[in-house]
Amino acid sequence: MPKETSKYSVIATGVSKVYKMSESLEVDALTAVSFKLKQGEFVAIVGPSGSGKSTLMNILGTIDKPTSGEVYIDGIPTSKMNGNELAEFRNKKLGFVFQSYNLITGLDAEKNVELPLMTASLSDSDRRDKAQKLLVRLGLGERLKMRPTQLSGGEQQRVAIARALVNNPALILADEPTGNLDTHSGDEVIKLLKSICRDGHVTIVMVTHNLDIAKYCDRIIHIKDGKLEKQEVLA
């Protein structure tokens, strides 16, 4: 397995998630979902509301555990890790972009981006440098010291993308990153994610309802009723 898995950035094998509501009521949020994503791929996950997209993202992001199945990220199986190992793993390998940005309101843009670096042993100045460079690259050079509440939605989402990128992750998970944005800022965010995929080795998995946006991607995974309905390879 290791030889085979290491070629792929993400491998999901038979991932299922069952929510047990009571003795008699169970919700099958995901049923035996399997796919392989190559390094540097930009992947869209689409599907109707309630089809299990967020559930899948949470499992890929190791903040939720599958009822059965396994997820390999960079060849590493994730289901057996404990809380601390997962925290460290997420810190090193994963980046998150949420629909509602999820920045820490009490911290300015720069500090929000520095946050994932705090768990690493990096000097203060290196840390600041890294965060600043990234924000400048994402066009936020003038916004370093601003708090999330002083930024527009598009700007906040770019700060969130900088935060996701700062640790050079293998995989960025973006659950409806344009959901709260107007078309223009949404397009900018997508172009940004696309360019990140291009010049880095980062794999990006993005949930979207917007098929126009999904067209930017290399591949579209369709989910319906918790099952992988079909995969479309565009690139």
Partner 1 sequence: MDLKDIFWLSYRDLNEKKVRTALTIIMVIIGVAAIVALTSFTAGINNSITTQLESLGPTAIIVGSIGTAGFTPASVSAVSSLPNVTSVTPLLTGSAVLYAGNQNTSVTVVGTTAQGLQQLIGNVSLYQGSAYQDTIAPDAVVGHSVAFPTSADGKQTITVGQSATLRLGGRGGTTVTVPILGILPAIGGLLIPIDTGVFVPLQAAEVLLHRLSFNEMLVLASSTGSVNATASLITTIYGSSARVTTTSQLASTASSIIGSITLLFGVIAGISLLVAAIGIMNVMLMAVMERTREIGIMKAIGFKSSHVLLIFMLQALIIGVAGGVAGIVVGATTSYSLAAVFSGAGSTSTTTGASASTSGSFRSGGGSSGGFSGAGAAGAPSGAAISANTSSGISFKPAFPLTTIVAALLIAVFVSLAAGIYPAWRASQMQPIDALRQL
Q: Which residues bind Mg ion (CB under 5 A)?
A: 54
Report the alpha-carbon distance of residue 64 to residue 55 in Å, rounded. 8
| 61 vs 186 by CB, closer to partner 1 | 61
Question: Contacts with ligand ATP in 29-88 (CB under 6 A)?
Answer: 29, 47, 49-55
- Residue 54 or 67 with smaller CB distance to ligand ATP: 54
Nearest partner of 189 among 139, 143, 129, 128, judged by Cα: 139
Q: Give the helix ranges, DSSP H, for the chain.
A: 2-5, 53-60, 83-93, 109-114, 124-137, 153-165, 183-199, 211-214
27: contact with ligand ATP by CB under 6 A: yes
User: Which residue, chain included where needed, has tokens 């690493």?
Assistant: 120
Report d(CA 103, CA 172) in Å as an integer.
16
Q: Which stretch binds partner 1 (CB under 8 A): 26-34, 61-69, 130-138, 197-205?
A: 61-69
Neighbour count for residue 148 (Cβ, 10 Å): 19
d(CA 187, CA 132): 23
Residue 130 interacts with partner 1 (CB under 8 A)?
no
Choosing from 28, 64, 70, 187, the residue that interacts with partner 1 (CB under 8 A) is 64
- 150-179 residues near ligand ATP, rule: CB under 6 A: none
Return residues touching partner 1 (CB under 8 A): 58, 61, 63-64, 83-84, 87-88, 90-92, 96, 98, 100, 102-107, 115-116, 118-119, 121, 163, 167
